[in-house]
Amino acid sequence: MSVKREFRGLKGLKKQRRIQVIALAAVALVVATGLVGYAMRDGINFFRSPTQVMEDPPRAGEMFRIGGLVVEGSIQRGQGTEVAFAVTDTNATVQVRYTGILPDLFAEGQGTVALGRMEGDTFVATEVLAKHDEKYMPKEVVDALKKQGVYKDPNARPAS
């Protein structure tokens, strides 16, 4: 009879150990998920079109990306590497200020995406990206222009 008692005792220990391992794994998973979320809180930047920025202004200090077409005649160079320009989705326009070297392909009338935050009515960019060839436009900009109903496909053939 003592052999049966020992066997039951070992069986109970295995079951208890299994529950402890499962509980420990669950706690580790929750902690890992929390750490990943904490690490990514500043790394997620949402895209907004100028219309979205004007209709629903971002909260103070919020980093986000804004994109659209650089307004013709809006580029103004300041001292050093300071530059100001306007970005539009043909429905709304947002003034952008940037200090740094602009990409070589940055030009008026072309698509651009900038990363930064709003300061008053001006978007202060920390990074500016430009198209990489004459047909490319950032996906977010294309989507925003399509939503406005003003997107013209550069690859479309003219009707004959």
Kind and range of the H or E run holding 41:
none
| Predicted TM-score (pTM) of this structure | 0.60
pLDDT tens-digit readout, 24-44? 999 999 999 999 888 776 666
CATH 2.60.40.1190 fits 46-148, yes or no: no
pLDDT tens-digit readout, 53-92? 888 888 888 888 898 889 999 999 988 889 999 999 888 9
CB 115 within 8 A of CB 126: yes
